[in-house]
Structure 1
Amino acid sequence: MTETRKLARSEWHDYFDRVARGVGTREVQIEVAALNLGDQVAAEWIGMTNLSYDPKDDVLQVGTDHLDHNIPHPAEIWVAESTDGVEAIEVKRDNGVTEIIRLAKPLLLPAPQSASQNA
């Protein structure tokens, strides 16, 4: 069963660090939806090699083997997770644009690192 939850902004950096550690190369589709654009597929089932949040520049960075897709100034981030792992990530921006990153196969996240592992 898939559950969707909103990530608190304070979770973003650590959550996406965990995603980056477990991603390897994972097939993703990136959809962009906005009132003035309609729904568009920005990338269709390409290999994602990295997904990270940079708090300094306030950008969610999606690295793929074909392009780097940046999502600047996210207002909300929602994740769809099941017992198999992360299935999709929805990013809502202040300007009304919503971007959805769908994973072809769920990504099981590594356990959070403890403070002693980060030292």
Structure 2
Amino acid sequence: MEQRQPELPRDQWREFFDTMTRDYEGADVTIEVVSESTGDTVAAERIPLAYVEYDPKDDQFSVGVGGRDGRYPVVLRHAVDHPRKILTDTLQQGTMRAFDVFDAEGGQTIVTLHLASISERAHG
């Protein structure tokens, strides 16, 4: 079931993503980028979350994946310069959370956290 949540106020971005990193570090993440010039592309698929952050000084959102084990020894980073708005929990189910980041040029980055991957690693 899809739920549309209101836009996350800019003054909450940094704290929101710091909390997301603490709560979901290691969860598998899928990053999709939608833009008029490139269409819909998958930048990363089910790679463990290293961090997600917003840097107000540089006005940049970034998400890092990998760097946790031999399968993904390097942290890969996806950044959105000058994000215009962020919608939180555009998809929230028992096993997934997602948020959308919109850039100044109208592009959209969709970050989906696969929460079941956290418990699978803890029990596997």
How far does residue 3 in structure 1 lie from its aligned partner after superposition? 3.0
TM-score (norm 2): 0.76
Give yes or no for contact 1:2–1:82 (8 Å, CA) kept in 2: yes
Query: What is the match of residue 91 of structure 1?
Result: 101
Q: Distance in 2 between matches of 1:12 and 1:87?
A: 16
Q: Distance in 2 between matches of 1:2 and 1:28?
A: 18
Query: What is the match of residue 4 of structure 1?
Result: 4
How far does residue 103 in structure 1 lie from its aligned partner after superposition? 1.3
How far does residue 40 in structure 1 lie from its aligned partner after superposition? 0.6
Query: What is the match of residue 85 of structure 2?
Result: 76
Q: Distance in 2 between matches of 1:99 and 1:82?
A: 17
Query: What is the match of residue 57 of structure 1?
Result: 58
Give yes or no for contact 1:79–1:86 (8 Å, CA) kept in 2: no
- Report the identity percentage: 34
TM-score (norm 1): 0.79
Find the partner of 1:102 among 80, 105, 112: 112
Matched positions, count? 106
Structure 2 gap ranges (5+): 67-74, 117-124
How big is the alpha-carbon RMSD for the aligned residues of Structure 1 and Structure 2? 2.0
Query: What is the match of residue 28 of structure 1?
Result: 29
How far does residue 78 in structure 1 lie from its aligned partner after superposition? 0.5
- SS of residue matched to 2:58: coil
Structure 1 gap ranges (5+): 107-119
- SS of residue matched to 2:37: coil
Q: Which moved more, 1:24-33 or 1:79-88?
A: 79-88
Q: Distance in 2 between matches of 1:86 and 1:104?
A: 5
Q: Distance in 2 between matches of 1:2 and 1:47?
A: 24
